[in-house]
Amino acid sequence: MALMFLTETVRAYRQRDPAARSNLEVWLCYPGLHAVGFHRFSSFLWRNGLLTLGRFVSHIGRFFTGIEIHPAAKLGRRFIIDHGMGVVIGETAEIGDDVYIYHQVTLGGTSDAPGKRHPTIGNHVIIGAGAKLLGDIAVGDNARIGANAVVVASVAADTTMVGIPARAVERIGHQPRFDAYGTPCDPCLDPLLHDLDQLRAGLAELEARLPRVPRDSAA
């Protein structure tokens, strides 16, 4: 079962990370995948009452990957932690399916009272490098959290949040889907080609406005 979860996560890395060139590379070189593997084991121990052993396995995972995931945290399927170092996922955090987070992300608490005190993340959410999401807040499906944002209140679905404290930015014409780095690359991959297309369109518009001059009278 755990192997099946990891295998589909490897497939997700291949589809979503432009730097992932082969399955073997992902199995060997992606600490985010290793951290999720350690978490599956530590969570199994935790759920079976072996709390200290569960914490210890989680600690070993942290030692090897630089990613700290509490054994009681709930992770969805195809969860990707890209680069990974410095990620902290707290005890009562819950993460949906197809979530993609970068290094230095914290899903942390703001209170030491026991009970739910960490964020709940929806499906298809992207969280940029260094972002901090704090407290018992909910982040809706397809939301995007900008690099280094500090989010202290719940986020509606399909919303992009940036800054400290995080505020929503409008994303016109957004179609829910995954964009590498959370940044849409339409209308084309090369910004220079995009500028060139716009220049061509402007030129065609100007030409259309010019009065038509017969060829022989132009000479």
**# chain residues binding ligand COA, by CB under 6 A:** 17
Strand 167-169 to strand 160-162: parallel, antiparallel, or no bridges (unpaired)?
Answer: antiparallel
Task: State which residue, 119 or 146, has the beta carbon closest to ligand COA.
Answer: 146
**128 lines the binding site for ligand COA (CB under 6 A):** yes
From its phi and psi, is residue 49 left (phi > 0), alpha (psi between -120 and 50) or beta? left
**202 lines the binding site for ligand COA (CB under 6 A):** no
Task: State which residue, 80 or 129, has the beta carbon closest to ligand COA.
Answer: 129
Task: State which residue, 73 or 161, has the beta carbon closest to ligand COA.
Answer: 161
Task: Figure out which of the listed residues 144, 151, 155, 159 binds ligand COA, where binding follows CB under 6 A.
Answer: 144
Q: What is the DSSP string of 105-171?
A: -EEE-S--SSSS-S-EE-TT-EE-TT-EEESS-EE-TT-EE-TT-EE-S-B-TT-EEETTTTEEE--
Cα separation of 201 and 204, whole Å? 5
**148 lines the binding site for ligand COA (CB under 6 A):** yes
Cα separation of 176 and 196, whole Å? 27
The least CB distance from residue 210 to ligand COA, in Å, is 35
Cα separation of 121 and 135, whole Å? 12
**160 lines the binding site for ligand COA (CB under 6 A):** yes
Q: Which 95-114 positions form the footprint of ligand COA (CB under 6 A)?
A: 102
Map residue 212 onto helix, strand or coil: coil
Task: State which residue, 163 or 176, has the beta carbon closest to ligand COA.
Answer: 163
Task: Figure out which of the listed residues 183, 185, 198, 202 binds ligand COA, where binding follows CB under 6 A.
Answer: 183
Backbone phi and psi for residue 148, each to the nearest 5 degrees, phi listed first: 65, 10
Q: Which 63-92 positions form the footprint of ligand COA (CB under 6 A)?
A: 83
Please give the structure tokens belonging to residue 216: 């022989």
Q: Which 48-67 positions form the footprint of ligand COA (CB under 6 A)?
A: none
Task: State which residue, 170 or 207, has the beta carbon closest to ligand COA.
Answer: 170
- Binding footprint of ligand COA on the chain (CB under 6 A): 83, 102, 128-129, 144, 146-148, 160, 162-163, 169, 171, 181-184
